[in-house]
Amino acid sequence: MSSFPGTSHSRPWWAGTRLDAWLAAGLVVLSLSSALAMPAGPPYRPVDGWTLLLATLGPAALVWRQTAPLLTLAVAGGTVVVNAAVGGAIGFLEWPAWIALFTCFDVGDRRVRTAAGALTAVAIAGYVAFDRGDPVGALPGIVIHFLIAMVIGDLSSRRARAAATEARRAAESRQQALAAERLLHQERSRLARELHDSLGHTVNVMVLQAGVGRRVFADNPAFAREALLSIETVGRAALEELNRLLRVLQPDERGAPDPFSPTATDLEQLVERVRTTGRDVELRADVGALPEGTARAVYRIVQEALTNAVRHTPAGGIRVEVERRDGDVRLEVTNDCAPPPEPVPGHGLVNMRERARLEGGVLEAGPVEGGFRVRAVLPVSAAVVP
């Protein structure tokens, strides 16, 4: 890829070459035919080798019109001056010069246009000085051609720039629309994860508590009442969580709610809810203050791991360990069961891995000796939740 220095349109060297070749060939044929079929009389010299050479050289320079417009103009204008100096009639030699001047104003920047105007002025002065006919009488027509070539070239350049600007704006609009669509998809995915992790957990806990209460209702009514109370408490928490997510989707005049920023107390309450289902859950957490995103990711991963444990295994102890080590938060949720369940394809494991990935961490989940374990390592940034 290359273009003539100073041109405003970057074009490959081969762009328009075929069209320019046909244009140059046509003008060569026209110029030679005119010189041979209608030779000029005195005071101009008769047709000879010089006349034919110059009639060929000027139009042939148009082959480089788009790749080297200033060079083309210099050759075409120089041909006009040399032809006048040797006494030849101008014929069609002025056409390549005007076409080259138009091209300079079409594709060139201010420097190219200034240089093109200067070259054309020099060529006109040389023609007026050396032509043997009446160049002064033809000067008004030459000036008109000079202005027409510049104005049309400038208009063509403006149209090309306007079209390029419009195409760029359309491309930017498409990119913005795609970016907005991606953001919308990401936000929907985030909300889907929140719904799955929070409501899925609470609904599972409520189902398990209701089952326990039903089984012991006749033998242990006090425990059954505690299970019903716990179901009511968990249900209210689920409604609050649902309302918070709905306010995110449709914020009212009070504005969007603050994002969920769990603390160590929230983690303890989460574990306690699982204990009310009859499962033995051991919690050991020592992490201190965490960034908002990291704290939320830790909470949701532990929540989903506990949900999977109580859903896929009927009994067995559950150990939750969360600690901060070497600038990372390391968490493990181990479900003691035999035989350990195989990972079930679904949203749970996918959501946990995605949460860890978004925080720059990693997550592993699978059977281990004597149970099933979820392990995650999340880096800790500087900003923390008080």
- What pLDDT, on the 0 to 100 scale, is given for residue 10? 44
Taking only the tens of pLDDT, the chain with its 386 residues reads: 334 444 444 444 444 577 888 888 888 888 788 777 777 778 887 888 887 888 888 888 888 888 888 898 899 888 888 988 888 888 878 888 888 888 888 888 889 989 998 998 898 888 888 888 877 777 787 778 888 888 888 888 888 888 888 888 888 878 877 777 777 677 677 777 767 666 777 777 777 778 877 887 778 888 777 777 777 777 777 777 777 666 666 655 455 555 667 888 888 888 888 887 788 999 998 887 788 888 888 988 998 898 888 888 888 899 999 998 888 999 999 998 877 776 666 677 888 888 888 888 999 998 888 889 999 999 986 444 44
- What pLDDT, on the 0 to 100 scale, is given for residue 187? 67
**Domain map of the chain by residue range?**
17-133, 279-386
- What pLDDT, on the 0 to 100 scale, is given for residue 323? 92
- What pLDDT, on the 0 to 100 scale, is given for residue 210? 80
- What pLDDT, on the 0 to 100 scale, is given for residue 22? 84
Strands of the 362-368 sheet, one edge to the other: 281-286, 318-325, 328-336, 371-379, 362-368
Q: For residues 11 and 4, what is the distance between their CA atoms, to the nearest angstrom?
A: 9
The tally of CA atoms less than 13 A away on the side-chain side of residue 132 is 15
- What pLDDT, on the 0 to 100 scale, is given for residue 320? 94
The tally of CA atoms less than 13 A away on the side-chain side of residue 224 is 10
Q: Cβ of 166: how many Cβ atoms within 10 Å?
A: 10
- What pLDDT, on the 0 to 100 scale, is given for residue 12? 46
**Which residues face 286 on adjacent strands?**
323
CATH number of 279-386: 3.30.565.10
Q: In a 10 Å sphere around its CB, with 0-12 CB exposed, 13-18 middle and 19+ buried, how is residue 315 labelled?
A: exposed
Report the predicted TM-score, pTM, of the whole model to 2 decimal places.
Answer: 0.44
Closest CA to 292 of 254, 331, 335, 263: 263
